[in-house]
């Protein structure tokens, strides 16, 4: 018997640790004789190519890893496969199907069953059943078709130390993100999140974690993304890992963590302060700053402490911070969300992710959606369209703002320019709102623009808005361009350097003797050197005034 474990990832750089973990556990513990193969594709590939590729492998069983970003594609793939391979057994697992297994099977006839919850042990037992060594009725954690749809009791939470290390061979992960988990479960009960369902917080033995992290460090892996839902839920566990990667820093590997900022204390901050720039990056979910909303979504958060911790870490200048907001939560009107946006924007983190509520089956938000009058898309990702507090028109406006934040803030390519523009608006939300309206009126469809074109559009916007400092704005844009890259073609809005060529020639002779990749320009009468061989944690060149 041949079984394919199939992932359909959002991007090529992503990997799927779920299917790798299922295979590793099966290989170590199973007495079944099935050949188990992992196959990874992306949603950007033609679905018919994926169907044909699976067909050519002629499996007896296919198991799909399902999430909100790929479930619609997987339903198409499975439906097509069943038509050309009617005897093929098709199973699914993952958060998108685990919490509505019976409903999913009723609506999708191509699937024979669902693995619910953690899959390693369940998959291994399923392979034994499909080989006839036991019955499906004997396996915990599955929902399947018999005379009628059967839903067996859930399996017990796993001991994480039983799960084998899945990255013994790194040859398939060049230029891809590696995901790693040191814990499962979440101590919080946020009503919009499926992680809150798994209340049993479990940790991998810290010595095993250190051994596995050493493997990544020794192999100079570029980035490790921890998928622990709240990495610092247990202080001692987090501190041991943070101390270990600090003490064993190879100067290359970066580690990403999703954390609760208000659980970070002064001891942890002191450790952060000592770390190499770029060693770690933090993702912090704030979601809303409206007290009524925070209470309603069962979120536990000390906002004052969150703000303090983020500002202290920012002051170190060595750690990339990414903060999240969610639009469409209960009790948040457009005006209230505007305040949340401005509150979080004021923290000046490296990125601000403006996301939209997803109403996920199994979550408390799903159960309460009628009370909140939430309208959301019928297919994945089940994204909010309107609520009792915001209209679809508001959502459209927020989508425009989200795009502008992605382009002009999160890219990090317009820092000085945006800081200057902010002065001429009452608050940041208003700036991005006006920018969003400008783009919407100018481009009726989603158009792609080069980086230089984005600057030119920003200049056109400023002129339309009658911003009085156009010359200063042009200087800021020129600065932002050159601090990022040594642009070969000088932008049209930059000042002409012919009047300064003698002085520039002298400065280049002085500073370029070491063979460094540099650019020298003039801003407000001062000569500024950009050194592209030395970059900060934000990726920008080191800039200094020439003496």
Token pair belonging to 285 = 């979910």
What is the residue whose two structure tokens read 């939560």? 329
435 contacts 457 by C-beta, under 8 angstroms: no
What CA–CA distance (Å, rounded) separates 95 from 361?
9
Nearest to 69 by CA among 92, 87, 44: 44
Nearest to 349 by CA among 67, 538, 139, 73: 538
User: What are phi and psi for residue 148, nearest 5 degrees?
Assistant: -140, 175
Residue count of the chain? 547
What CA–CA distance (Å, rounded) separates 71 from 89?
18
Token pair belonging to 383 = 């994204």
What is the residue whose two structure tokens read 């520039």? 504
Nearest to 74 by CA among 99, 110, 26, 102: 110
pLDDT of the residue at 386: 98
Cα–Cα distance list, 111 to 62, 102, 115, 413 (Å): 10, 11, 11, 46
What CA–CA distance (Å, rounded) separates 93 from 65?
5
pLDDT in tens, 172-219: 888 888 999 999 998 888 899 887 666 689 999 999 999 999 999 999
pLDDT of the residue at 154: 92
Rounded (10°) CA dihedral 326, 327, 330, 333: 140
Token pair belonging to 396 = 């459209």
Looking only at the bridges linking them, the beta strands covering 351-356 and 320-327 are parallel
How far does the chain reach from its first CA to its final CA, in angstroms? 73
Residue ranges in the chain modelled with pLDDT below 70: 196-199, 444-446, 514-515
Rounded (10°) CA dihedral 295, 296, 297, 300: 10
Token pair belonging to 431 = 């700036």
What CA–CA distance (Å, rounded) separates 52 from 47?
9
What is the Cα Rg of the chain in Å?
26
Residue 49 burial (CB < 10 Å; 0-12/13-18/19+)? exposed
What CA–CA distance (Å, rounded) separates 218 from 349?
31
Token pair belonging to 242 = 């943070």
What CA–CA distance (Å, rounded) separates 226 from 223?
10
User: Buried b vs exposed e over 188-213: b needs ≥16 C-beta within 10 Å?
Assistant: bebbbbbbbbeeebebbeeeebbebb
- Tabulate helix, strand, coil % of the chain (nearest 5): 45, 20, 40
What CA–CA distance (Å, rounded) separates 305 from 322?
17
Cα–Cα distance list, 81 to 68, 87, 110 (Å): 21, 10, 8
* DSSP three-state, residue 292: helix
* DSSP three-state, residue 281: strand
What CA–CA distance (Å, rounded) separates 486 from 474?
17
What CA–CA distance (Å, rounded) separates 76 from 464?
47
What CA–CA distance (Å, rounded) separates 402 from 337?
13
Nearest to 89 by CA among 148, 6, 193: 6
User: Buried b vs exposed e over 489-511: b needs ≥16 C-beta within 10 Å?
Assistant: eebebbeeeeeeeeebeebeeeb
310 contacts 352 by C-beta, under 8 angstroms: no
Angle formed by the axes of helices 415-422 and 470-484, nearest 10°: 150
pLDDT of the residue at 488: 85
What CA–CA distance (Å, rounded) separates 185 from 424?
46
């Amino acid at each position: 018997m041949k079984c394919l474990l199939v992932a359909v990832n959002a991007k090529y750089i992503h990997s799927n640790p779920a299917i790798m973990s299922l295979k590793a556990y099966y290989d170590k513990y199973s007495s079944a004789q099935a050949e188990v193969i992992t196959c990874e594709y992306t949603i950007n590939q033609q679905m018919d190519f994926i169907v044909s590729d699976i067909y050519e492998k002629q499996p007896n069983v296919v198991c799909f890893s399902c999430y909100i970003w790929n479930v619609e594609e997987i339903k198409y793939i499975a439906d097509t496969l069943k038509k050309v391979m009617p005897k093929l057994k098709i199973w699914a697992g993952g958060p998108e199907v685990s919490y509505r297994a019976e409903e999913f099977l009723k609506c999708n006839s191509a699937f024979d069953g669902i693995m619910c919850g953690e899959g390693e042990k369940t998959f291994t037992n399923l392979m034994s059943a499909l080989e006839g060594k036991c019955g499906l009725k004997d396996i915990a954690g599955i929902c399947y078709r018999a005379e009628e749809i059967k839903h067996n009791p859930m399996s017990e939470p796993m001991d994480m130390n039983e799960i084998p290390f899945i990255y013994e061979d790194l040859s398939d992960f060049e230029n891809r993100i590696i995901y790693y988990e040191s814990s499962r479960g979440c101590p919080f009960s946020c009503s919009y999140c499926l992680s809150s369902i798994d209340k049993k917080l479990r940790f991998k033995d810290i010595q095993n974690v250190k051994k596995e992290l050493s493997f990544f460090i020794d192999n100079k892996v570029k980035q490790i993304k921890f998928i622990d839902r709240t990495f610092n839920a247990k202080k001692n566990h987090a501190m041991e890992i943070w101390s270990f990667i600090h003490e064993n820093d190879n100067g290359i590997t970066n580690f990403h963590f999703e954390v609760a900022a208000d659980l970070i204390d002064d001891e942890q901050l002191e450790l952060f302060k000592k770390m190499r720039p770029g060693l770690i990056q933090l993702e912090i979910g704030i979601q809303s700053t409206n007290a009524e909303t925070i209470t309603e979504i069962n979120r536990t958060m000390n906002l004052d402490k969150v703000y303090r911790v983020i500002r202290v870490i920012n002051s170190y200048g060595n750690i990339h911070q990414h903060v999240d907001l969610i639009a469409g939560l209960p009790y948040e009107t457009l005006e209230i969300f505007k305040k949340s946006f401005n509150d979080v924007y004021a923290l000046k983190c490296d990125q601000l992710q403006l996301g939209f509520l997803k109403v996920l089956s199994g979550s408390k938000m799903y159960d309460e959606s009628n009370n909140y009058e939430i309208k959301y898309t019928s297919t994945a990702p089940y994204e909010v369209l309107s609520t009792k507090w915001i209209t679809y028109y508001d959502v459209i406006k927020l989508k425009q703002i989200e795009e502008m934040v992605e382009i002009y803030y999160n890219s990090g390519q317009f820092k000085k320019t945006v800081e200057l523009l902010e002065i001429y608006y009452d608050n940041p939300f208003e700036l991005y709102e006006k920018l969003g309206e400008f783009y919407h009126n100018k481009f009726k469809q989603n158009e792609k623009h080069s980086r230089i074109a984005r600057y030119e559009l920003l200049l056109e916007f400023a002129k339309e808005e009658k911003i009085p400092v156009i010359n200063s704005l042009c200087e800021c844009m020129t600065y932002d361009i050159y601090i990022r890259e040594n642009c070969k073609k000088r932008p049209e809005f930059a000042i002409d350097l012919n009047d300064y060529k003698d002085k520039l020639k002298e400065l280049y002779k002085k500073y370029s003797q070491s063979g460094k990749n540099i650019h020298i320009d003039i801003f407000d009468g001062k000569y500024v050197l950009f050194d592209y061989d030395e970059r900060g944690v934000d990726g920008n060149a080191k800039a200094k005034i020439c003496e």
